[in-house]
Chain A
C-alpha cells in the first residue's frame, strides 16, 4: 500500500530564517505531488505541484519554492521566512490516472 510522510510535524522558526519541509511517498512510482497551505480556520491553498522529477509548477508567487530531486520526494523551501508563512502545510500525492489526492499528516509551521 502507499504511504506519504512529512517532516517535521511541527516547526517554530524566527522571521528571516530558512525553511525546508520534506515529503516522501512510498509504494508508488511517478506520482503527481502537491504542496498546499492552510491558514488557521481556512481552506487549502495550492502552492506547487509536480508531475515529474525536476518539473515544478507554481500557483502562487511568493517567497517559497519547491523542488523534486527524486521521483517520490518533494521539498518546500524558503530562503527567508515571513510572518505570513505561518500555517499548516500539507503534501499530497495522486496516481497519474486517478482523481483523488491523498494527503500526508502535515507540518504545522509557526513563524515568530
Chain B
C-alpha cells in the first residue's frame, strides 16, 4: 500500500526567506510519481510540481523545487524567496505509474509573515 507522511502540521517563515516542507513516502512499486499541490483558503487545489521516480534531476518550477532523495524515500518541497501569497496548505501526493489513485498526505499549513 502507498502512504504519504507530512510530519509538519504548520510552518512559519518570514517573507523573502526559503522554506522546506517535508514529505516522506512509502511504496513497493518501482515506478511512481510524486506531486505537490497548494491549497489557498479559497479551497482550490493548485498543482505545483511533479517528480518521476526515474528522473535523474530534481524538478524545478520557478520558485519551487523538489528535493528528491529516493533512497530515503523523501520528496521535500523547497520554496525560495517566500511571498505573502504563499500562505496556504501544501499537500504532497503520489501515485504508481499506470494507476489512477492519487494518495495525499495530511498537509502542512504554511504562514508567511511580513
Contacts and interface: CB of A to CB of B under 8 A. Distances in A.
Given A32-B100, A100-B35, A88 B47 contact: no
Interface residues of A, number: 22
Contacts, number: 49
Contacts of B50: 99-100
A63 interface: no
Interface stretch (A11-19, A73-81, A102-110): A102-110
B100 A43 contact: no
A96 to B, nearest CB: 11
Interface residues of B, number: 20
Interface string B36-59: 010000111111001010000000
A63 B100 CA distance: 22
Given A43-B104, A44-B104, A90-B43, 6 more contacts: A34-B102, A42-B107, A44-B45, A59-B101, A99-B52, A105-B43
Closest 10 CB pairs of A and B: A103-B45, A43-B104, A44-B104, A106-B43, A43-B106, A99-B33, A49-B100, A100-B47, A105-B44, A43-B107
